[in-house]
């Protein structure tokens, strides 16, 4: 039986709008020695039909489907049936850049002690427009230190490759931590091998209204504190005396305001202006909507002069950088 070097695992649930870009981004990788395990988790939006058409076109795709059961079940099943030495994660709404697998496989070949390697990423919105860039620590010690102090984004789950032997050794994903299963996994992998990130952007990470951080924020808050307490206990460390979760899921308008701030802070003013306009159209009487419009048209180097005025007016929703 042929065994590719990499098994790409991608669970899918009602992601039809973004699926073609996600699938194409894997099929067009410069590194070709992979199998693409796609799991349709009971989608009702036609996602399975899209995936089925792709599976007929490319023999590297192995398509599975069953009623909705959650991503962790599929990921653990994928680990068991994968034939590759490395497990590459992919989400159905993201876009892998063409060199992603090649660069990560090259690193794993050279670093036998590494259990998982991620990468930097750019965040995009639902239309694929640029929001900002997210950089990560690259060294194991720095990553683990951040983890043990509550760092939730030390490695981007859909942007990583994990050694399959390491996943099997730590028991895979734990179902009880569904929706934040990666945070738990990083701690257990850090106790087995080294964690790393490549200092280059290899994934476009899509932010939209259906992201799990918006739809399951309360559940994630509870689980994150529990995961961290357990991990610190295994290390012989005292639990933190505060919750590590300081995120509250914003309203629909609040999301567009947040995305405008992200984009403007990175100099992506066209994207910022788009979300500011949406904010104003949906909440025209909100001072925050108009503040969002302001930051989307005023260059960053001019915004510093506005700082005192905005603070006095009570309109600062986000730090002005």
The full DSSP string for 3-20 is --SEEEEEEESS-TTTHH
Q: Are residues 126 and 227 in the same domain?
A: yes
Residue 133: which of 289, 269, 236, 267 has the closest Cα?
267
Q: Are residues 61 and 101 in the same domain?
A: yes
Residue 119: which of 230, 228, 200 has the closest Cα?
200
- Give the confidence band of 300 by pLDDT, cuts at 50, 70, 90: low
Q: Are residues 221 and 284 in the same domain?
A: no
Q: Is 246 among the domain residues?
A: no
- Give the confidence band of 87 by pLDDT, cuts at 50, 70, 90: very high
Q: Are residues 45 and 143 in the same domain?
A: yes
- Give the confidence band of 303 by pLDDT, cuts at 50, 70, 90: low
Q: Helices (H) and strands (E) in the chain — how many of each?
A: 14, 9
Taking the CB of residue 275, how many other CB atoms lie within 10 A of it? Answer: 26
DSSP track, 258-287: HHHHHHHHTT-HHHHHHHHHHHHHH-TT-H
Q: Is 307 among the domain residues?
A: yes
Task: Kindly report, residue by residue over 194-215, the tens digit of the pLDDT.
Answer: 999 999 999 999 999 989 888 8
Instruction: DSSP letter for 238, please.
Output: P
- Give the confidence band of 301 by pLDDT, cuts at 50, 70, 90: low
Pick from 207, 234, 261: which residue ends a domain? 234
Number of structural domains in the chain = 2
Q: Are residues 12 and 87 in the same domain?
A: yes
Which residues constitute the domain of residue 271? 252-313
Q: Are residues 49 and 194 in the same domain?
A: yes
**pLDDT at residue number 312:** 46
CA dist 213 and 157 (Å) reads 13
Q: Are residues 198 and 287 in the same domain?
A: no
Average pLDDT, the chain: 92
- Nearest-5° Cα angle at 218, 212 to 223: 85
Query: What is residue 35's three-state secondary structure?
Result: strand
Task: Kindly report, residue by residue over 44-85, the tens digit of the pLDDT.
Answer: 999 999 999 999 999 999 999 999 999 999 999 999 999 999
CA dist 104 and 246 (Å) reads 32
Pick from 234, 265, 280: which residue ends a domain? 234
Pick from 181, 208, 234: which residue ends a domain? 234
Taking the CB of residue 98, how many other CB atoms lie within 10 A of it? Answer: 13
Q: Are residues 139 and 222 in the same domain?
A: yes
For residue 321, pLDDT beyond 70: no
Task: Kindly report, residue by residue over 127-145, the tens digit of the pLDDT.
Answer: 999 999 999 999 999 999 9
CA dist 289 and 127 (Å) reads 21
Q: Are residues 128 and 182 in the same domain?
A: yes
Return the structure tokens found at 250. Answer: 């914003």
Q: Are residues 46 and 12 in the same domain?
A: yes
Beta strands in 21-85 (DSSP E): 34-40, 61-65
Q: Is 318 among the domain residues?
A: no
pTM of the model: 0.92
For residue 309, pLDDT beyond 60: no
Q: Are residues 104 and 228 in the same domain?
A: yes
Q: Are residues 183 and 299 in the same domain?
A: no
CA dist 56 and 71 (Å) reads 24
Q: Is 224 among the domain residues?
A: yes
For tokens 């899509």, the residue is 206
Return the structure tokens found at 41. Answer: 């988790």
**pLDDT at residue number 315:** 47
């Amino acid at each position: 039986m042929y065994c590719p070097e990499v098994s790409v695992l991608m669970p899918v649930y009602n992601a039809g709008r973004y699926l073609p870009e996600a699938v194409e981004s894997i099929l067009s990788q410069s590194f070709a020695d992979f199998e693409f395990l796609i799991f349709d988790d009971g989608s009702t939006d036609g996602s399975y039909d899209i995936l089925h058409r792709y599976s007929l076109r490319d023999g590297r795709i192995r398509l599975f489907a069953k009623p909705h059961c959650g991503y962790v079940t599929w990921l653990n099943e994928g680990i068991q049936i994968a034939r590759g030495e490395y497990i590459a994660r992919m989400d159905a709404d993201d876009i892998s850049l063409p060199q992603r697998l090649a660069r990560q496989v090259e690193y794993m070949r050279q670093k036998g002690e590494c259990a998982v390697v991620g990468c930097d990423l750019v965040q995009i919105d639902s239309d694929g427009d640029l929001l900002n860039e997210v950089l990560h620590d690259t060294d194991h010690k720095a990553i683990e230190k951040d983890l043990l102090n509550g760092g939730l984004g030390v490695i981007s789950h859909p942007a990583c490759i994990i050694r399959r032997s390491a996943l099997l050794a730590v028991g895979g994903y734990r179902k009880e931590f569904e929706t934040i299963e990666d945070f738990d996994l990083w701690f257990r992998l850090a106790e087995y091998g080294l964690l790393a990130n490549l200092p280059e952007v290899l994934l476009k990470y899509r932010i939209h209204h259906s992201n799990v951080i918006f739809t399951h924020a309360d559940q994630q808050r509870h689980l994150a504190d529990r995961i961290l307490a357990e991990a610190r206990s295994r290390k012989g460390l005292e639990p933190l005396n505060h919750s590590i979760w300081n995120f509250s899921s914003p309203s629909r308008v609040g999301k567009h305001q947040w995305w405008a701030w992200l984009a403007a802070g990175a100099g992506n003013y066209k994207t910022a202006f788009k979300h500011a306009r949406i904010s104003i159209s949906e909440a025209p009487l909100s001072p925050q909507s108009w503040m969002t419009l302001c930051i989307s048209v005023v260059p960053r180097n001019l915004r510093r002069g506005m700082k005192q005025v905005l603070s006095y007016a009570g309109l600062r929703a986000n730090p002005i950088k």
